[in-house]
Amino acid sequence: MGVPERLPSSLPSSPEGHASPASAGRVVAAPVVASAQFTAGLKRRGFTAKYKPQILSKTDRAVDTGGISAILRREGLYSSARSDWRGQRDAVTDGALQPRQRGPEKVAANPLQAELAKANRQNAALRRRLDQAEAIIAIQEKVWALLDEIKQTSGNSGKS
């Protein structure tokens, strides 16, 4: 669907309601700069812990009269927010009506993690000791072989 080249002549273009022949073919360009309300960053609406129970008590009192929707419209709220808040209130947890931090939940520390780290450190220390012991044993075997060879050569040279 294309943009019309001319405005319809039936639309009034002057304050008196009469279309002038000169303005009937004129097209007004849109402003280049966007409105300030669209350029400002969007911000999520937050509700205080004091505000939530006030709205819940108002809507609870309005159940019989059917004024819940009027309260929600006046406050600019959706019914889903009300049901979420009622669930939080019914949960009866400490600070349930407090605003929650957005983002991924922090993972609780594993209680066995400290024991695993300690076992890994002990394992590394024992491996170092094992490597040292194997090196010492290898040196002792070489020394024993040299001493045995010296003993055999000194025993052969004394008999001749």
Task: Using alpha carbons, list the distances in angstroms from residue 126 to 118, 134, 143, 154, 157.
Answer: 12, 12, 25, 41, 46
Residue 122 is predicted with a pLDDT of 97
Ranges of the chain with pLDDT below 70: 1-25, 30-40, 92-98, 158-160
Q: What number of CA atoms fall less than 13 Å from residue 87's CA on the CB side?
A: 6
pTM: 0.36
